[in-house]
Chains A and B, each alone.
Chain A
Amino acid sequence: MDRRRPALLAAVPLTAVLSTRVPLWRDVRVLKWVLQLVVVGLVVALVIWLYGNYVENTAEQNIPTDFGFLDNPANFQITGNELGANQPVRDALYQGLLNTLRISVAGIVAATILGTLVGIARLSSNWIVSKLATVYVEAVRNIPLALFVIAGLLVVVLGVFPTIQEAWNLAGLAIISNRGVAVPWFVGAGFGLLAIGAVAAVTAWLAARWRSSVSDRTGVPPRSGLWASGAFLVVFVIGWVAFGYEWTLPELDGRQTVGGIRIDPSFFALFFALVIYTASHIAEIVRGSIQAVPRGQGEAADAVALSGFQRMWYVILPQAFRIGIPPIGNQHLNLIKNSSLGAAIGYYDLTLVAQTTVGNGSPAVPVFALTMVLYICISLVTSLIVNYANRRSALVER
């Protein structure tokens, strides 16, 4: 061994041993930049290749690549929406966006409530309730949503619901037939009523704030929920009467319903499919979150003699939702994205409008690019709201 060492040393030039500089191809900083440039170069090359193909193929088939199609007539109508025959594609997409938002908001509210109830039910001490909730969750979670959506329309609405002549009339409050479900609605419902609702909500919030500050000062029970709903009702009813709003009940008139508002079969089916499916996922999150609340919290609530409802509402659920908000928000995002399945059963949401527009001759790539940008915007706004809620509810630590 000893005899070989000088030879080895001699093989390495003295300058290299003495120099502190690392050769370029072994320098970590250089390597990092080279690697990045290679990755970015590959990505850029891929994008350029795809874009080049796109330009070439569209030019070959004379397909426009700009957004001029937005001003062309849409050439289709959406039942139940204010979309006339000659309105441009722009308006059709706007109506589609509104429809997506409608089903999403309604679905999110209903799915969250149902999911929370089922999640609590799974942990119930009542054997039947907990078993039923378990069966519901395990059955629904493992079946594709598309099956629910299609079964909702074809099996429930078109199969089980009666024809319009034999429509089920639920005490005059709802008329159910395979043409849809008619329910009471406001006359002239629109932004005016929404504004009144918003004012009422702000009043309710202020009332709740005021009650809790009174409670902090004097120690009387806050009862902020009671006060808030009271304030909401008072303001809403005053606005209702002052501005002369009315409502109408649905009535059967020959082969159609008049009055109220008719919920489209596709909306009905999509809504229930989304709610039932998403609620099963939310229920699992709620269950996990409740189980993650330390046992001592529930025991402490029992020790100060809170009722079962108070224990859940004031002690367990607030802490459970602190844990559960991010994953539940994810489910809300999923629900919004899944609402695109309405296109499969003819609900004119953003997706179906885009699909129809493409079918009517608009260029596919710009239409779908626009659609995706809109969906991504909705997702971003929703996740901003979820993040805000998460920050608000997060435990403030030192």
Chain B
Amino acid sequence: MSATAHRSGALVWARRNLFRSPVDGVLSILFGALSLWLVYKTLSFVFVTGRWDVIRVNLRLMMIGRFPDAHVLRLAITVVVLAAWGGFLAGFIRARQIRSGHASDERVPLVARLGDVAARLWLPAVVVLLLLLLSSTAGPWIIVGIAIVAAIIGRLVGPFAGRPKLGPVGSGVVVAGLGAVPVALYFYVVTAVGFDDWGGFMLNLFLAVCSIVLCFPLGILLALGRRSTLPLVRVVCTTYIELVRGAPLFVLLLLANVALGFFVPNSLAPSTSTRAIIVFTLFTAAYMAEIVRGGLQSVPRGQIEAAKAVGLSPVRQMGYIVLPQALRNVIPAQNGQLISLFKDTTLAGIAMGLFELLNVAGAITAQPDFRGQGLIGETITFAALLFWTVAFTMSRESQRLEKRLGVGVR
């Protein structure tokens, strides 16, 4: 009885979703065959025809480039501290939200919370696990293990720092400390190994993070400038934005690579990686400015008028009333831009010869052991998997943030 019901259910489902009309049926069969073929091809590539030794051997090169052995410990410590920092930040923000009434302080059962974390992070977790399985030493396992523990400890400690007992001075110290940690870590690593010797996926991530952090303030300033009532400021900002948006990033990178040195005194000529960060920042700031401008235009006039009516100064009107709403309204566009910035870090490899992941993927197929075997498909697929995981996770987290902040709802 239940079997027939189930079967008829499946039939009904197939009839409704696959065979509504003759045309529909043909499409289903055609594309069904296509997807089966694609699945078959993918599976056979991953498990049968793919020769993944080239990845296994060069995993370290792909992840951190030619980072010297002697200083890898610093990277490990950085990863652990960053994990603790992330956990602490999450706990801190949560406590602040509870305090300001933005989140309920209801105790969520541990299982539900773990389920939530798993739903959010299973994809990067699976990829990290894959990387660990590919690695031939125990080091990465230990680092990841310690990092997870550190993140959990940070998450447990974080809420205490967000409690009202600390007062404004205490909170200020905590916030300043939180901001100082990444900077300190950067100097901790860079004093041992100069920035130009970084490489692999680490370099992609670092270029992206640096440029993201730097392009935000510049983009907001440019947007405010373009919307300003001061004609000269407006002209300067508009010219900059439109010129940068009209030129391809690739050409800007090429230009910076061969010609940036002409525009500064020889003693100040920046290194290649720094040039890449400068170009990414200046380029993305122009796009960010247009996005923020859209956000500023979406804030109702009444908000500004109300802010004026309660006697806020122009800076406070902007900082407390207009910008928070404007930035919230354009979260999707902002994140799209940041994801594309992350993807564009590959251009630095092509245009400037930086040893980032795509360049590594090409270079390792020319090693004596692997030369002439046509392994570029395997290495590029692996690189694509890493880029895809980070970009896809970013876009999913962005959607989650939109939902939480009620973009388009409030």
Binding between chains A and B: yes
Encoded as 1 (CB less than 8 Å from any A CB) or 0, chain B from 168 to 195 comes to 0000000000000000000000000000
Residues of B within 8 A of A40 (CB): 232-233, 236
Bound-complex Cα distance A351 to B347 (A): 13
Name the CB-closest residue of B to A378.
Answer: B246
Q: Is A169 an interface residue (CB 8 A)?
A: no
Q: Is B78 an interface residue (CB 8 A)?
A: no
Nearest chain A CB to B279 CB, angstrom units: 12
* Docked-complex contact A147 and B31, CB < 8 angstroms: no
Name the CB-closest residue of A to B381.
Answer: A151
* Docked-complex contact B376 and A159, CB < 8 angstroms: yes
Count contacts on A: residues with CB < 8 A to the other chain: 52
Contact of A147 (CB < 8 Å), options: B225, B230, B259, B384: B384
Count contacts on B: residues with CB < 8 A to the other chain: 57
Residues of A within 8 A of B319 (CB): none
Q: Is A75 an interface residue (CB 8 A)?
A: no
Q: Is the interface of B mostly helix, strand, loop or mixed?
A: helix
Bound-complex Cα distance A396 to B308 (A): 36
Residues of A within 8 A of B31 (CB): 126, 128-129, 132
* Docked-complex contact B17 and A344, CB < 8 angstroms: no
Bound-complex Cα distance A82 to B290 (A): 41
Q: Is A155 an interface residue (CB 8 A)?
A: yes
Nearest chain B CB to A274 CB, angstrom units: 13
Q: Is B395 an interface residue (CB 8 A)?
A: yes
Q: Is B35 an interface residue (CB 8 A)?
A: yes
* Docked-complex contact A340 and B250, CB < 8 angstroms: yes
Q: Is A146 an interface residue (CB 8 A)?
A: yes
Name the CB-closest residue of B to A43.
Answer: B236
Bound-complex Cα distance A218 to B383 (A): 62
Which of A39-62 touch B at CB < 8 Å? 39-40, 43, 50, 53-54, 57-58
Nearest chain A CB to B403 CB, angstrom units: 17
Residues of A within 8 A of B247 (CB): 337, 372, 375-376
Residues of A within 8 A of B225 (CB): 39
Bound-complex Cα distance A156 to B239 (A): 42
Bound-complex Cα distance A50 to B252 (A): 16
Bound-complex Cα distance A145 to B31 (A): 25
* Docked-complex contact A155 and B377, CB < 8 angstroms: yes
Contact of A125 (CB < 8 Å), options: B20, B35, B254, B376: B20
* Docked-complex contact B232 and A39, CB < 8 angstroms: yes
* Docked-complex contact B232 and A344, CB < 8 angstroms: no
* Docked-complex contact B251 and A368, CB < 8 angstroms: yes
Given contacts A151-B380, A341-B250, contact A144 B18 (CB under 8 A): no
Contact of A355 (CB < 8 Å), options: B35, B252, B254: B254
Bound-complex Cα distance A351 to B350 (A): 13
Residues of A within 8 A of B376 (CB): 150-151, 154-155, 159
* Docked-complex contact A126 and B28, CB < 8 angstroms: yes
Bound-complex Cα distance A43 to B239 (A): 12
Nearest chain A CB to B221 CB, angstrom units: 10
Contact of A151 (CB < 8 Å), options: B343, B345, B377: B377
Residues of A within 8 A of B262 (CB): 53-54, 57-58, 364-365
Q: Is A217 an interface residue (CB 8 A)?
A: no
Residues of A within 8 A of B35 (CB): 128, 131-132
Given contacts A143-B384, A364-B255, A364-B258, contact A338 B346 (CB under 8 A): no
Q: Is A380 an interface residue (CB 8 A)?
A: yes
Bound-complex Cα distance A149 to B21 (A): 39
* Docked-complex contact B395 and A147, CB < 8 angstroms: no
Bound-complex Cα distance A155 to B346 (A): 18
Name the CB-closest residue of A to B365.
Answer: A154
Q: Is A20 an interface residue (CB 8 A)?
A: no
Name the CB-closest residue of B to A65.
Answer: B262
Q: Is B367 an interface residue (CB 8 A)?
A: no
* Docked-complex contact A146 and B18, CB < 8 angstroms: no
Name the CB-closest residue of A to B232.
Answer: A36
* Docked-complex contact B265 and A53, CB < 8 angstroms: yes
* Docked-complex contact A146 and B233, CB < 8 angstroms: no
Encoded as 1 (CB less than 8 Å from any A CB) or 0, chain B from 373 to 410 comes to 01011001001100110011001000000000000000
Nearest chain A CB to B253 CB, angstrom units: 10
* Docked-complex contact B384 and A376, CB < 8 angstroms: no
Residues of A within 8 A of B2 (CB): none
Q: Is A290 an interface residue (CB 8 A)?
A: no
Residues of B within 8 A of A343 (CB): 250, 254, 350
Q: Is A371 an interface residue (CB 8 A)?
A: yes
Bound-complex Cα distance A58 to B229 (A): 39
Q: Is A302 an interface residue (CB 8 A)?
A: no
Bound-complex Cα distance A389 to B230 (A): 32
Contact of A128 (CB < 8 Å), options: B18, B266, B387: B18
Chain B CB count within 10 A is highest, among A50, A128, A151, for A128
Name the CB-closest residue of B to A36.
Answer: B232
Encoded as 1 (CB less than 8 Å from any A CB) or 0, chain B from 219 to 260 comes to 000000100011111001000000101111111101100110
Which of B334-387 touch A at CB < 8 Å? 339, 343-347, 349-350, 358, 362, 374, 376-377, 380, 383-384, 387
* Docked-complex contact B350 and A39, CB < 8 angstroms: no
Q: Is B24 an interface residue (CB 8 A)?
A: yes
* Docked-complex contact B250 and A150, CB < 8 angstroms: no
Residues of A within 8 A of B258 (CB): 358, 364, 368
* Docked-complex contact A126 and B18, CB < 8 angstroms: yes
* Docked-complex contact B377 and A57, CB < 8 angstroms: no
Given contacts A36-B230, A53-B265, A57-B262, contact A144 B251 (CB under 8 A): no
Contact of A142 (CB < 8 Å), options: B230, B347, B392: B392
Residues of B within 8 A of A216 (CB): none
Q: Is A106 an interface residue (CB 8 A)?
A: no
* Docked-complex contact B259 and A368, CB < 8 angstroms: yes
Bound-complex Cα distance A163 to B231 (A): 62
Chain A CB count within 10 A is highest, among B258, B259, B344, for B259
Encoded as 1 (CB less than 8 Å from any B CB) or 0, chain A from 346 to 370 comes to 0000010011001000001100100
Nearest chain B CB to A342 CB, angstrom units: 9
* Docked-complex contact A375 and B246, CB < 8 angstroms: yes
Contact of B246 (CB < 8 Å), options: A58, A146, A365, A379: A379
* Docked-complex contact A129 and B27, CB < 8 angstroms: yes
Bound-complex Cα distance A54 to B232 (A): 26
Residues of A within 8 A of B130 (CB): none
* Docked-complex contact A376 and B251, CB < 8 angstroms: no
Q: Is B47 an interface residue (CB 8 A)?
A: no
Residues of A within 8 A of B111 (CB): none
Q: Please name the 9 residue pairs, one residue from A and one from B, whose CB atoms are nearest each other, closest first.
A: A376-B246, A142-B391, A337-B248, A127-B17, A144-B343, A379-B246, A340-B248, A36-B232, A146-B346
Would you mind naming 21 contact pairs between A and B with Cβ atoms under 8 Å apart? A35-B233, A39-B230, A53-B263, A125-B17, A126-B20, A128-B31, A128-B35, A142-B339, A142-B387, A143-B384, A143-B387, A145-B343, A147-B383, A150-B358, A150-B362, A150-B376, A337-B247, A364-B258, A368-B254, A371-B251, A376-B243
User: 9 more A-B contacts (CB under 8 A) besides A40-B232, A159-B376?
Assistant: A32-B229, A50-B263, A57-B261, A129-B28, A132-B31, A142-B387, A144-B344, A337-B248, A372-B252
